[in-house]
C-alpha cells in the first residue's frame, strides 16, 4: 500500500512500518547501553562479570573498549591545548578546525600505541595469563533477597520469550 510519493519515489506503508520498528529497536539498544554506561563504573561492571565467571580475556577487552574513548578525548584535549599554547590556530570555521585536527592524529595514534604497550607489560607483570583460582580485591556479598529476585527475573525473561514465540 502506497503511503505517499516523493517524485518518482514511492514510500509504502509496510516498508515504512518495518523501518520504523527497526529504528525503534536500535534507539532502544542505544538508550539501554547509555543507561548502563552512565550508571555503572566500567571497573565495577567488569569485576562483577569476572566474579560471575566471565573469561578474563573477554573482560579485559570489554574494559579496554569502555575506557579508550574517554582516554582519547582527554588526550586530544591535552594536545589541542598544547598546540594552542604554541600559537596554532584551532578555532574558527569548519576548514580551520579540520586543518588543526590533522596534526592531532599523529600524537594521538602514537600515544595510544604506547599505552597499549604499557598495558600489555602491566598485564604480564600482574600475571594475567596465570592459571588457578583468581582472587578479587572487592568481594561481592550476597544480599538477603538476591536469589529470590534473580529467580523472578529469570522467570519473567522466560515468560517474555514464550509470549513472543506464541504471539
Residue 154: what pLDDT? 95
Q: Please report which helix (H) or strand (E) contains residue 44, including its range.
A: helix 42-51
**pLDDT bracket for residue 131 (50, 70, 90):** confident
| Residue 36 clears pLDDT 80, i.e. is over it | yes
Where does residue 91 fall: left (phi above 0), alpha (psi -120 to 50 degrees), or beta otherwise? beta
Identify the pLDDT of residue 90: 66
Please tell me the pTM assigned to this model: 0.52
Please name the residues in contact with 48: beta carbons below 8 A apart, sequence gap of 6 or more.
140
Is the pLDDT score of 159 beyond 70?
yes
Give the closest residue to 79 by CA, choosing from 102, 58, 48. 102
- Report domain extents, the chain: 1-39, 42-135
Burial 131-162 (b: 16+ CB within 10 A, else e): eeeeeeeeeeeeeeeeeeeeeeeeeeeeeeee
pLDDT at 156 over 80: yes
Amino acid at each position: 500500500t502506497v503511503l505517499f510519493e516523493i517524485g518518482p519515489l514511492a514510500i509504502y506503508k509496510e516498508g515504512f512500518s518495518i523501518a520504523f520498528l527497526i529504528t525503534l529497536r536500535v534507539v532502544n539498544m542505544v538508550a539501554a547501553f547509555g543507561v548502563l554506561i552512565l550508571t555503572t563504573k566500567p571497573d565495577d561492571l567488569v569485576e562483577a562479570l569476572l566474579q560471575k565467571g566471565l573469561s578474563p580475556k573477554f573482560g579485559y577487552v570489554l574494559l579496554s573498549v569502555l575506557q579508550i574513548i574517554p582516554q582519547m578525548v582527554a588526550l586530544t584535549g591535552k594536545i589541542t591545548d598544547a598546540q594552542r599554547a604554541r600559537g596554532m590556530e584551532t578555532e574558527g570555521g569548519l576548514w580551520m578546525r579540520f586543518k588543526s585536527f590533522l596534526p592531532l592524529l599523529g600524537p594521538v595514534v602514537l600515544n595510544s600505541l604506547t599505552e597499549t604497550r604499557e598495558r600489555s607489560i602491566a598485564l604480564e607483570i600482574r600475571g594475567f595469563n596465570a592459571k588457578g583460582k583468581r582472587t578479587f580485591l572487592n568481594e561481592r556479598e550476597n544480599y538477603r533477597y538476591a536469589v529470590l529476585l534473580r529467580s523472578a527475573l529469570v522467570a519473567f525473561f522466560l515468560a517474555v520469550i514464550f509470549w513472543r514465540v506464541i504471539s
